Amino acid sequence: MLEPMKSLRSIHQTEHDQALQALKKAIVDGATFDYERLIQNAVQAGVSEHELDLLIHEALEVLIYSEEHPVTSRDLTHSGWPLAPVTVGG
């Protein structure tokens, strides 16, 4: 049985959402070298200036929140952050 084709609108929305997520991740990760390209991609995907402003504001809030709350050992165990193996007596 043939699968229904995705509508052009849903494909455009997916590109729109992916562009926003990539930009937010770059901001939170501090990938400043990639901002210009990601913003251009977002604009090409139909992201408005207002949406960009909201996204940047949200990403900056994430950065500020993470700076106000230092990382604890509990955070590391839940984040999947790789820890160096511990060797005893060696």
Q: Give 1-47 pLDDT, tens digit per residue.
A: 455 555 656 766 789 899 999 998 898 888 888 999 999 999 999 99
The rounded distance, in Å, linking the Cα atoms of 43 and 22 is 13
Number of residues that this document lists for the chain: 90
Q: Name the band, by pLDDT with cuts 50, 70 and 90, for residue 86.
A: very low
Buried b (16+ CB within 10 A) or exposed e, 1-11: eeeeeeeeeee
